Amino acid sequence: MTTTLGTKSIKSIFGKLLGITNGDDGHLVVESGTICVDNGTATATSGAATLNRAAGKITSESLSTAAAGVYTLTITNSKIAATDIVHVSVTLGTATTGVPTIATVAAAAGSLVIKVQNIAASAALNGTIVVAFTSFKA
């Protein structure tokens, strides 16, 4: 079935639009449900990983980044453009000490360079961290 939404025609399953409407300003509005982003997972080796998805989670190698130290993660990703808007977060994986936080994110054509700083007062990271990202076309 094809449904007209504003000036766009959208094919729907079983005649349902799943709560998607056209906002007054021309933006797509999701009234209910979720939008699934093409996502995946990868494991870093020596600060590098490849994940060709719009979103994902990268588990680092085991780290021992000292307090105030910085870990650099380079993600090779053919879906990323230099003009993309990228949101990044970090959590402890197997590490039980240290306080990782995102310091900088640099998007380039085909890659992301993410710097994670351990902001703990004295404790080093003692295991893996998980860096999650979502990219949006600007």
Q: Do 5 and 50 share a structural domain?
A: no
Q: Closest by alpha carbon to 60, among 98, 86, 107?
A: 98
Q: Do 44 and 82 share a structural domain?
A: yes
Domain range for 6 is 1-35
Per residue in 55-79, pLDDT (tens digit) is: 999 999 999 999 999 999 999 999 9
Q: Do 20 and 48 share a structural domain?
A: no
Q: Do 48 and 27 share a structural domain?
A: no
pLDDT band per the 50, 70, 90 thresholds, residue 110 = very high
pLDDT band per the 50, 70, 90 thresholds, residue 33 = low
| Spatial distance between the Cα atoms of 115 and 103, rounded to a whole number of angstroms | 5
Res. 43: pLDDT tops 70: yes
Q: Do 77 and 117 share a structural domain?
A: yes
pTM above 0.85, yes or no: no
Q: Do 108 and 83 share a structural domain?
A: yes
Q: What region does 121 belong to: left with phi over 0, alpha with psi -120 to 50, or beta?
A: alpha
110 SS3 class: coil
